[in-house]
């Protein structure tokens, strides 16, 4: 290869390298600023293909999508001086690329750190104005809306970012308070349980007493009806016997005497001492006479 060809190859390579570094692309999900020797010359580069002067201009790109700041759990005091452990997060994105670069040098870690401090201050201020009930449930939506508004105004002014939403993931009591609260709740539940058991025993005694009373009433009523029916049966039996006796009194007397003989002489060991002229042997004597 001749010297001329080598020179042409070197010049061509340099031109290609210059042309390659003269173009840059900003995607739809990015925000960018164009710098000249470290100073901003174009604060908001639009998405697309652009040209720059190699080694003089440089481009800083930032993520333009919606980002999440997940803050650490912090301890806040309510207006009643009750401590709460609050875990929250914020949704934000770059709105002013120039201000964002100036404030954070384009580093998300710096933006998260500064935004986290602002978020903690806003939450502390809002929780300090409310009672425990209001912070947990009564005014929670209002609290989040005010925190979002306050944090968004400060973040746009200082960091060039827009805060779209702030949410509380969880509100807990501190560990040193959890035990005492749990013990108090447990004692209250035990007291309620004792009250319910006492009421249950009282109701049970009343039910048993009423059941026993009804049982006695039912047994007395059944005994009365049984005695009445037994008395009616005995009366009807006596009436039937009387009617049968009236129809043939002589035969009835003879039948009763036979029953008496059978029962008296049913066992060989039985012994009777009677007067021979007793009325007991009347039908035996009559049978011998015949």
What is the pLDDT, as a whole number, of residue 52?
86
Domain final position from 63, 82, 109: 63
Phi, psi of 42 (to 5 degrees): -135, 105
Residue 181 within a domain: no
pLDDT of 158 higher than 80: yes
Could you tell me whether strands 83-94 and 161-172 are parallel, antiparallel, or unpaired per DSSP bridges?
A: antiparallel
Residue of 123, 121, 117, 112 whose CA lies nearest to 166: 123
Tell me, yes or no, whether 33 and 11 share the same domain.
yes
SS3 58: strand
Kindly indicate the confidence band of residue 116, based on its pLDDT and cuts at 50, 70 and 90.
Answer: very high
Residue 104 within a domain: yes
Domain final position from 25, 44, 63: 63
* pLDDT tens per residue across span 250-264: 777 777 777 776 777
Tell me, yes or no, whether 26 and 102 share the same domain.
no
pLDDT of 38 higher than 80: yes
Q: At a CB cut-off of 8 Å and minimum separation 6, what does 123 contact?
A: 74, 76, 86, 88, 147
* pLDDT tens per residue across span 205-230: 999 999 999 999 999 999 999 999 99
Which residues partner with 74 through β-bridges?
A: 86
Kindly indicate the confidence band of residue 185, based on its pLDDT and cuts at 50, 70 and 90.
Answer: confident
Tell me, yes or no, whether 105 and 162 share the same domain.
yes
End-to-end CA distance of the chain: 179
Between 267 and 50, residue with greater pLDDT: 50
Q: What is the mean pLDDT of residues 201-206?
A: 91
What is the pLDDT, as a whole number, of residue 151?
93
CA angle, 73 then 74 then 80, to 5° = 135
CA distance 217 to 223: 10
Tell me, yes or no, whether 81 and 162 share the same domain.
yes
What is the pLDDT, as a whole number, of residue 89?
93
Between 115 and 265, residue with greater pLDDT: 115
Tell me, yes or no, whether 206 and 110 share the same domain.
no
- Read off the DSSP letter of residue 71: P
124-153 burial by CB neighbour count: b if 16+ within 10 A, else e?
A: eebbeebebebbeeebeeebbebbbebbbe
Which residues partner with 162 through β-bridges?
A: 93
Q: Give helix 140-158 / helix 108-127 axis angle, nearest 10°.
A: 140
Judge contact between 61 and 38, C-beta under 8 A: no
What is the pLDDT, as a whole number, of residue 162?
95
Q: How many domains does the chain have?
A: 4
What is the pLDDT, as a whole number, of residue 153?
93
What is the pLDDT, as a whole number, of residue 267?
67
Which residues partner with 39 through β-bridges?
A: 36
Tell me, yes or no, whether 213 and 258 share the same domain.
no
Residue 72 within a domain: yes
Q: How far is CA 225 from CA 4, 219, 220, 229, 233, in A?
A: 141, 10, 9, 6, 12
What is the pLDDT, as a whole number, of residue 204?
92
Tell me, yes or no, whether 164 and 86 share the same domain.
yes
Residue 98 within a domain: yes
- Which stretch of DSSP H or E encloses residue 20? helix 3-20
Residue 127 within a domain: yes
Between 9 and 51, residue with greater pLDDT: 51
Question: Which domain does 235 fall in, by range?
Answer: 188-247
* pLDDT tens per residue across span 144-154: 999 999 999 99
Tell me, yes or no, whether 240 and 252 share the same domain.
no
Judge contact between 44 and 33, C-beta under 8 A: yes
253-288 burial by CB neighbour count: b if 16+ within 10 A, else e?
A: eeeebeeeeeeeeeeeeeeeeeeeeeeeeeeeeeee
pLDDT of 115 higher than 90: yes
* pLDDT tens per residue across span 12-24: 776 666 666 788 8
What is the pLDDT, as a whole number, of residue 290?
42
Percent residues over pLDDT 90 in the chain: 36
Residue 151 within a domain: yes
pLDDT of 1 higher than 60: no
Residue 148 within a domain: yes
* pLDDT tens per residue across span 98-108: 999 999 988 99
Tell me, yes or no, whether 242 and 151 share the same domain.
no
- Which stretch of DSSP H or E encloses residue 157? helix 140-158
CA distance 98 to 110: 15
Tell me, yes or no, whether 166 and 196 share the same domain.
no
Kindly indicate the confidence band of residue 94, based on its pLDDT and cuts at 50, 70 and 90.
Answer: very high
Residue 193 within a domain: yes
Which parts of the chain are beta strand (E)? 23-26, 30-36, 39-45, 48-51, 57-63, 67-70, 74-77, 83-94, 161-172
Tell me, yes or no, whether 146 and 75 share the same domain.
yes
Tell me, yes or no, whether 49 and 12 share the same domain.
yes
pLDDT of 170 higher than 90: no
């Amino acid at each position: 290869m001749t010297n001329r060809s080598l020179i042409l190859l070197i010049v061509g390579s340099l031109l290609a390298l210059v042309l390659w570094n003269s173009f840059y692309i900003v995607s739809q999900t990015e925000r960018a600023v164009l710098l000249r020797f470290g100073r901003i010359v174009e604060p908001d580069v639009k998405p697309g293909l652009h040209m720059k002067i190699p080694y003089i201009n440089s481009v800083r790109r930032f993520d333009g999508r919606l980002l999440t700041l997940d803050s650490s759990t912090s301890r806040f005091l309510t207006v009643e001086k009750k401590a709460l452990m609050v875990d929250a997060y914020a949704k934000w994105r770059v709105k002013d690329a120039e201000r964002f670069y100036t404030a954070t040098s384009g580093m998300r870690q710096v933006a998260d750190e500064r935004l986290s401090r602002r978020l903690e201050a806003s939450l502390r201020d809002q929780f300090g104005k409310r009672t425990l009930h209001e912070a947990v449930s009564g005014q929670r939506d209002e609290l989040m809306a005010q925190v979002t508004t306050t944090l968004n105004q400060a973040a746009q002014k200082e960091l060039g970012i827009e805060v779209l939403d702030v949410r509380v993931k969880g509100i807990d009591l501190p560990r040193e308070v959890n035990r005492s609260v749990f013990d108090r709740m447990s004692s209250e539940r035990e007291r309620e349980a004792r009250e319910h058991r006492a009421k249950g025993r009282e109701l049970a005694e009343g039910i048993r007493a009423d059941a026993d009373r009804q049982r006695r009433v039912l047994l007395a009523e059944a005994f009365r009806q049984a005695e009445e029916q037994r008395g009616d049966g005995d009366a009807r039996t006596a009436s039937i016997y009387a009617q049968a006796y009236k129809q043939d009194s002589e035969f009835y007397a003879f039948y009763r005497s036979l029953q008496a003989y059978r029962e008296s002489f049913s066992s060989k060991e039985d012994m009777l001492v009677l007067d021979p002229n007793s009325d007991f042997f009347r039908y035996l004597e009559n049978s011998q006479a015949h």
